[in-house]
């Protein structure tokens, strides 16, 4: 009897050892700011006002990271963001997000599964719900090169616009080049997506390319961050759009620059600008937009 209990005892001891290695970290932030939008728009329904407005921004979030052991870790997060426009009250938006992820080591690689849910309200009325599920595989292939690839499933619902309800499938890959570690690195990404809507005229295939550069530098006593990037998306709609009598085709370019000035270890002053140029043979989806803003972010 004594010999038969020994393996069980050792198994319990190993389990307790893994539990002792577990660790949990909780972080949160709050942000308040203001921005000017040259063309207040609702991209999801191809509508733009062609008029500018000032918006007050506020938001925050909380995140819990947990290492179950040396090979398995997980996280869960909640975020809230809102913008209140001075003139376009009906386009003021509230967005709640919930995310969770599980990652695990596979030799020299890391596997993961991410789930993300978002709900947006316009003028305090339900507008958009979106679910996103993405398994992925990532890892370093050299000291400076890191790659990530994954499959993405999406499911969106737009209130009072059931024809735009859709599911999507896609593949995405990202390459990171760490020139000076996390002080200076570049990110190049590509994604392919097919979206199938309830109304055939909204079905499309899309190719997306993105490029991003990050530079961290000493400004005062703390490390600040300068980030810039470009995103290009080409959408090819699969059915005739009745209002134009032909298949719709979009080219979308977005350029952004952001500076995070770390005033203290917990207080960051952010400046940002973003320019979008949406070109389409559908007139309501053909517009450009410039956003300029600033915010204070508190981390704890």
Per-residue pLDDT of 28-38, as tens digits, reads 999 999 999 99
User: How many Å apart are CA 279 and CA 241, to the nearest integer?
Assistant: 16
**From residue 212, how far is each of 155, 170, 231 by CA, in Å?**
27, 21, 9
Whole-number pLDDT of residue 11: 46
23-299: CATH architecture: Beta Barrel (2.40)
Pairwise CA distance, residues 207 & 37, whole Å? 27
To the nearest 5 percent, what fractions of the chain are helix, strand and coil?
Answer: 10, 70, 15
pLDDT of residue 220: 84
- Identify any residues that bridge with 78 across adjacent strands, giving them in sequence order: 62, 98
The mean pLDDT value for 112-139 works out to 96
Contacts 24+ apart (CB under 8 A), 219-225: 219/261, 219/262, 220/262, 220/263, 222/262, 222/263, 222/264, 222/265, 223/262, 224/259, 224/260, 224/261, 224/262, 225/258, 225/259, 225/260, 225/262
**pLDDT tens sequence across 182-204:** 899 999 999 999 999 999 999 99
Q: Looking at residue 277, what is its pLDDT?
A: 97
Round the average pLDDT of the chain to a whole number and report it. 92
pTM: 0.88
pLDDT score of 2 more than 90: no
On whether the CB atoms of residues 132 and 154 are closer than 8 A, the answer is yes
Q: What is the pLDDT of residues 48-96, one digit of tens each?
A: 999 999 999 999 999 999 999 999 999 999 999 999 999 998 999 999 9
* CA separation for the pair 157, 164 (Å, rounded): 7
Confidence of residue 283 (pLDDT cuts 50, 70, 90): very high
The dihedral over CA atoms of 201, 203, 205, 209, expressed in degrees to the nearest 10, equals 90
Q: Could you tell me which residues come within 8 angstroms of residue 8 by beta carbon, excluding any fewer than 6 positions away?
A: none
Q: How far is CA 133 from CA 69, 152, 271, in A?
A: 24, 6, 32
d(CA 228, CA 129) in angstroms, rounded, equals 29
pLDDT at 15 over 50: no
- pLDDT, tens digit, 9 for 90 and up, residues 197-232: 999 999 999 999 999 999 999 988 899 999 999 999
Largest alpha-carbon pair distance within the chain?
83
**pLDDT category, 21, cuts 50, 70, 90?**
low
Residue 152 has pLDDT above 50, yes or no: yes
Residue pair 147/109 in contact by the 8 Å Cβ criterion: no
Q: In the prediction, which pLDDT does 110 show?
A: 96
pLDDT of residue 219: 87
């Amino acid at each position: 009897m004594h010999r038969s209990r020994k393996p069980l005892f050792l198994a319990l001891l190993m389990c307790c050892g893994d539990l002792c290695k577990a660790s949990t970290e909780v972080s949160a932030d709050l942000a308040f700011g203001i921005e000017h939008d040259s063309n207040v728009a609702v991209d999801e329904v191809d509508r733009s006002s062609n008029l500018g407005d000032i918006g007050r921004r506020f938001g925050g979030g909380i995140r819990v990271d947990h290492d179950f052991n040396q090979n398995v870790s997980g996280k869960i997060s909640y975020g809230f963001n809102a913008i209140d426009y001075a003139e376009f009250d009906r386009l003021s938006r509230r967005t709640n997000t919930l995310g969770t992820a599980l990652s695990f080591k596979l030799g020299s690689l890391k596997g993961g599964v991410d789930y993300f849910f978002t709900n947006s309200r316009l003028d305090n009325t339900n507008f958009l719900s979106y679910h996103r599920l993405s398994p992925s595989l990532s890892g370093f292939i050299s000291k400076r090169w890191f790659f990530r690839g994954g499959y993405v499933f999406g499911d969106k619902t737009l209130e009072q616009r059931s024809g735009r309800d859709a599911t999507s499938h896609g593949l995405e890959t990202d390459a990171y080049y760490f020139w000076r570690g996390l002080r200076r690195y570049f990110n190049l990404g590509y994604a392919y997506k097919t979206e199938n809507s309830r109304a055939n005229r909204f079905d499309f295939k899309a190719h997306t390319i993105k490029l991003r550069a990050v530079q961290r530098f000493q400004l005062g006593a703390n490390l600040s961050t300068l980030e810039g990037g470009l995103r290009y998306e080409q959408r090819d709609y699969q059915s005739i759009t009745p209002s134009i009598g032909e298949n719709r085709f979009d080219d979308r370019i977005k350029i952004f620059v952001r500076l995070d000035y770390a005033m203290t270890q917990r207080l960051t002053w952010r400046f940002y600008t973003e320019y979008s140029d949406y070109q389409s043979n559908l007139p309501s989806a053909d517009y450009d937009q410039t956003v300029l803003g600033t915010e204070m972010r508190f981390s704890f």
